[in-house]
């Protein structure tokens, strides 16, 4: 009898342990997360555009919540770090683009063929220059790839296809495709302008939706130290469906085609802020080091109406990550575990303008630059299906990636590396600015098994809701997935804060080159 009883007890204990492993004790239920998302994505906040009143209201709400959670201000001005921007807008009524072949000029339609991109056209320009096709236009010394070899690009406008050859590793390909890196080699070769043909293989948003918002102003950091494309006079974005106009030329070779452009650019200065708050660690030495939890709070604001709605609410992008930051702060107050390193809560502005708020912070942090040991970035983690598989961006690059994977595994979640390298996600959110300062970083997202219904849910979401007014609170979300993701992030932060050794890049990681030894 006794043996049987203890055998049963043992079984019960084992079952409990197993249950804990599979559905871990959680500090979150998804409800407070959703309440925060609802506040941030409300129509009254008008899509939280950088520099707007709506974003200021969202930020005041976040600061209030972080204060309530007992965090201390860690910005330059209380919880805020002011950042100055310039805004650029095309006056299309006074601008034009045309292809010139054998003295004949054919104008291009801004809506259907190509538009002037103000991210790369910073001043009014009136010019005509020959076009040269350069493939992907990449120079990647690590892979002996040089698509510019033997080309005369002096005074030319280069035409390239967005993306990279499929045999180039993701991290490397991502890095060399950033605007600054790409332009470095083109500028050195003498080019004066770029035409980017969007790559249908990697377009998250169809041309029609990109085109309808083409006149939304772009921004850059006002401080000239951040200007990455000196000498670039004109940047044009080209519809892949119209690309044959660049190539046919009825009997003419590609080399005979010139692009004639008249770009009228309007500029304006404005200011916005990052939010920086800290939870001070308990260890007398380690508390001077920081694990950063970053999330962008801005979105794209008000845009062209789609189905009668012009407010781009940004519920998942990135109300979801901002809400997570508030939830995690509150949970650390309600359930204070030992936290040895300090945790920095960073809600950046102007991510949608080109990762600008984080770029500014990473270059001018409000804590000692060398004290930042890791960045865990959360951006649009998409809890729209149950969290069974977690994509760990940066999985193979550092022991922080490996730690994220093992924590996911311990929670019954399968960690995987980025299965869609063509979408270039590793450079498309704020972690990239920390990586460039040498800080090991990860960005994790809910994902799917290929060939499943979940894959279709994700594809439909990107096509229809990503950067559209329908990324609002009238969409189905999985609150349990959100809660589980929050729990994962909380454990990753605590584990990183409490592990004596700082995270390190793997010896063979491309990004190790940025790390001071």
Cβ within 8 Å of residue 314, ≥6 positions away: 40, 41, 47, 48, 299, 300, 471
Nearer to Zn ion, 113 or 298 (CB): 298
| E-state strands within 224-308 | 234-238, 257-263, 265-279, 290-296, 301-306
The rounded distance, in Å, linking the Cα atoms of 161 and 159 is: 7
Shortest approach of Zn ion to residue 465 CB, angstroms? 11
- Alpha carbons within 13 A on the beta-carbon side of 326: 28
Residue 46 touches Zn ion, criterion: CB under 5 A? no
Shortest approach of Zn ion to residue 300 CB, angstroms? 7
The rounded distance, in Å, linking the Cα atoms of 428 and 15 is: 42
The rounded distance, in Å, linking the Cα atoms of 262 and 91 is: 10
Shortest approach of Zn ion to residue 100 CB, angstroms? 36
Decide: residue 108, CB within 10 A, 0-12 exposed, 13-18 middle, 19+ buried.
buried
Nearer to Zn ion, 50 or 239 (CB): 50
Q: Is the peptide bond before 318 cis (omega within 30 degrees of 0)?
A: yes
Nearer to Zn ion, 317 or 430 (CB): 317
Do residues 501 and 456 make contact, with C-beta atoms less than 8 angstroms apart? no
The rounded distance, in Å, linking the Cα atoms of 432 and 397 is: 13
Q: According to CB under 5 A, which residues from 438 to 467 bind Zn ion?
A: none
Shortest approach of Zn ion to residue 491 CB, angstroms? 26
Nearer to Zn ion, 272 or 499 (CB): 272
The rounded distance, in Å, linking the Cα atoms of 83 and 369 is: 18
Nearer to Zn ion, 233 or 294 (CB): 294
Q: Is 70 left (phi over 0), alpha (psi -120 to 50) or beta?
A: left
Q: According to CB under 5 A, which residues from 101 to 130 bind Zn ion?
A: none
**For strand 257-263 and strand 96-101, is the pairing parallel, antiparallel, or unpaired?**
antiparallel
Nearer to Zn ion, 317 or 399 (CB): 317
Nearer to Zn ion, 113 or 317 (CB): 317
Nearer to Zn ion, 50 or 101 (CB): 50
- Residue reference for tokens 């974003």: 55
Q: Is 163 left (phi over 0), alpha (psi -120 to 50) or beta?
A: left
Total binding residues toward Zn ion, as defined by CB under 5 A: 1
Residue nearest to Zn ion (CB): 317
Shortest approach of Zn ion to residue 317 CB, angstroms? 4
Q: According to CB under 5 A, which residues from 288 to 347 bind Zn ion?
A: 317
- Residue reference for tokens 């790409």: 182
Which spans of this chain sit near Zn ion (rule: CB under 5 A)? Answer: 317
């Amino acid at each position: 009898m006794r043996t049987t009883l203890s055998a049963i007890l043992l079984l019960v204990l084992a079952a409990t342990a197993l249950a804990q492993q599979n559905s871990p004790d959680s500090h979150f239920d998804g409800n407070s997360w959703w309440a925060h998302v609802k506040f941030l994505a409300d129509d009254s906040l008008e899509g939280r555009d950088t520099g707007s009143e709506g974003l200021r209201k969202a930020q005041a709400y976040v600061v209030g919540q972080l204060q309530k959670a007992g965090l201390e201000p860690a910005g330059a001005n209380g919880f805020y770090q002011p950042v100055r921007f310039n805004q650029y807008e095309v006056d299309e009524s006074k601008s034009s683009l045309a292809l010139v072949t054998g003295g004949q000029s054919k104008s291009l339609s801004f809506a259907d063929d190509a538009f002037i991109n103000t991210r790369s056209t910073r001043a009014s320009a009136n010019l005509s220059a020959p076009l040269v096709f350069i493939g992907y236009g990449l120079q990647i010394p690590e892979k002996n790839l040089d698509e510019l070899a033997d080309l005369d690009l002096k005074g030319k406008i280069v035409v390239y296809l967005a993306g990279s050859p499929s045999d180039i590793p993701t991290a490397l390909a991502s890095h060399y495709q950033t605007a600054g890196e790409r332009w470095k080699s083109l500028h050195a070769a003498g080019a004066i302008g770029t035409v980017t043909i969007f790559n249908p293989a990697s377009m998250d948003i169809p041309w029609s939706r990109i085109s309808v918002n083409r006149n939304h102003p772009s921004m850059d950091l006002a401080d000239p130290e951040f200007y990455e494309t000196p000498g670039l006079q004109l940047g044009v974005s080209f519809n892949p469906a119209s690309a044959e106009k660049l190539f046919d030329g009825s009997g003419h070779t590609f080399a005979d085609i010139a692009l004639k452009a008249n770009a009228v650019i309007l500029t304006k200065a404005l200011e916005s802020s990052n939010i920086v708050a800290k939870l001070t660690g308990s260890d007398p030495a380690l508390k001077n080091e920081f694990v950063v939890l970053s999330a962008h709070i801005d979105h794209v604001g008000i845009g062209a109406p789609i189905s009668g709605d012009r407010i781009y609410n940004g519920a998942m992008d990135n109300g979801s990550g901002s809400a997570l930051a508030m939830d995690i702060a509150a949970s650390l107050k309600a359930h204070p575990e030992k936290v040895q390193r300090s945790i920095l809560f960073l809600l950046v502005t102007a991510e949608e303008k080109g990762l600008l708020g984080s770029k500014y912070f990473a270059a001018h942090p409000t804590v000692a630059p060398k004290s930042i040991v890791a960045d865990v970035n959360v951006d649009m983690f998409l809890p729209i299906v149950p969290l069974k598989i977690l994509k760990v961006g940066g999985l193979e690059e550092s022991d922080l990636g490996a730690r994220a994977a093992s924590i996911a595994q311990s929670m019954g979640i399968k960690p995987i590396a980025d299965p869609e390298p063509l979408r270039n996600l590793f450079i498309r959110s704020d972690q990239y600015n920390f990586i460039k300062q040498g800080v090991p970083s990860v960005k994790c997202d809910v994902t799917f098994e290929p060939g499943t219904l979940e894959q279709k849910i994700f594809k439909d979401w990107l096509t229809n809701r990503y950067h559209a007014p329908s990324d609002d609170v009238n969409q189905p979300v999985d609150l349990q997935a959100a809660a589980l993701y929050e729990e994962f992030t909380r454990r990753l932060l605590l584990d990183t804060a409490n592990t004596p050794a700082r995270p390190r890049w793997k010896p063979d990681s491309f990004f190790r080159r940025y790390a001071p030894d």
